[in-house]
Amino acid sequence: RVSPRATMLFLLIVVFCIQADNTKANECSSPFNPIGNQCLYFGNLILENHENAQAVCQSLGGHLARITEPQQLKDIVDYIVENGYGDVHYWVDGTDIVQEAQWKFSNGEAVPMGTPFWDVDNYDGTWRVQPDNKHGYQNCLQLYKPYHYYFDDFYCNVSRAILCEEKVEIEMNMRTNLEDISCPALFVPVSGMCLAFLTFADQTWDEARQTCASLGGQLAKITQPQHIRDIYLYINQQGLNDDSFWIGGSDKENEGVWKFNDGSTIPSGTPFWGMGILPAQEPDGDILENCLTLFAPGQYYFRDANCDNIFNPLCSINPI
């Protein structure tokens, strides 16, 4: 049941939407906007608990937003940043109320776990993987502002802004079989790339770069949110999750300007770079940490590290 306050706010929003000069794509109904492959509404002024937030979204003809793909998270966070919406937290669909640690959307499907959806809380210098139910009874899913809008478990009775999704996707996500490629020896197909996880080589960043070159390749260049997801899943499936990997990026030439080894710009923010010592987001090492790594305790998000650290090379090469 929607609270009287939410009903009043909803009526005000409807009036505003009718009056506004607002052109939307045909796929989305007012007040939803096309963002990526979803129709979304950011209810920044509607502060409700999780249950009431779901009811408000349903009254608009939708439900709390379901984030199932890494690119959706990126599109949402980019929209929040570009439109100046970054002053509130948002409820999204997902709870583990029925069974602790079994996170489900309201349609019964599983909430994706791990990278790049849930980050690692390093607030006190430890690496605490989310969700952690830190204080107990944290059973509802939010996009948490201090966590740079990564997923976070929180108390369901707390008031948050709402992020609603209309029940129709603009475009279905149809991934082709990215693993249907042929790779040279030592390299395996992951996310449409040929990658070599050289866990036998403990090296500095410069040494790792030379090792990849000796194989005819280069330190891996990771440009898409799905790359992060697929690499994380492969590492865990293969039992490599104690190994950290160098990849092909640094800000050696110009402090704070992160480039891949081919000179192209490294993506910034969520869902590529993990959280640092809060409230900072990586990269946060200044002149002491100039090379790019997928760090095991940091759940394989981008992290800046001292280039003389000893990690394993993650090399890439063109398919055969």
For position 279, what pLDDT does the model report? 85
Mean pLDDT of 173-188: 79
Is pLDDT of 16 > 80?
no
**Is residue 111 a contact partner of residue 94, using CB atoms and an 8 Å limit?**
yes
pTM comes to: 0.89
Q: What does the pLDDT look like over 124-139, one tens digit per residue?
A: 667 889 999 988 999 9
For position 175, what pLDDT does the model report? 57
Taking the C-alpha atoms of residue 136 and residue 289, their distance in angstroms, rounded to an integer, is: 36
Mean pLDDT of 258-284: 94
More confident position, 173 or 264: 264
For position 19, what pLDDT does the model report? 33
Is pLDDT of 9 > 90?
no
Q: What band does 222 get if pLDDT is binned at 50, 70 and 90?
A: very high
Q: What band does 177 get if pLDDT is binned at 50, 70 and 90?
A: low
Is pLDDT of 18 > 70?
no
**Is residue 42 a contact partner of residue 166, using CB atoms and an 8 Å limit?**
no
Pairing type for strands 291-294 and 259-260 reads: unpaired
Q: Residue 71 is inside which H or E element, if any?
A: helix 70-82
Q: What band does 293 get if pLDDT is binned at 50, 70 and 90?
A: very high
CB atoms < 10 A from the CB of 190, how many? Answer: 23
User: DSSP states of 8-19 as a string?
Assistant: HHHHHHHHHHHH
Q: What band does 176 get if pLDDT is binned at 50, 70 and 90?
A: low
Taking the C-alpha atoms of residue 104 and residue 70, their distance in angstroms, rounded to an integer, is: 17
Q: Which of 62-71, 157-166, 276-285 has the lowest mean pLDDT?
A: 276-285
For position 170, what pLDDT does the model report? 58
For position 154, what pLDDT does the model report? 97
**Is residue 64 a contact partner of residue 164, using CB atoms and an 8 Å limit?**
yes
For position 180, what pLDDT does the model report? 83
**Is residue 251 a contact partner of residue 258, using CB atoms and an 8 Å limit?**
yes
Mean pLDDT of all residues belonging to the chain: 90
**Is residue 165 a contact partner of residue 79, using CB atoms and an 8 Å limit?**
no
Q: What band does 22 get if pLDDT is binned at 50, 70 and 90?
A: very low
Is pLDDT of 5 > 70?
no
Q: Residue 81 is inside which H or E element, if any?
A: helix 70-82
Q: What does the pLDDT look like over 235-268, one tens digit per residue?
A: 999 999 999 999 999 999 999 999 999 999 999 9
Is pLDDT of 20 > 50?
no
Taking the C-alpha atoms of residue 62 and residue 263, their distance in angstroms, rounded to an integer, is: 43
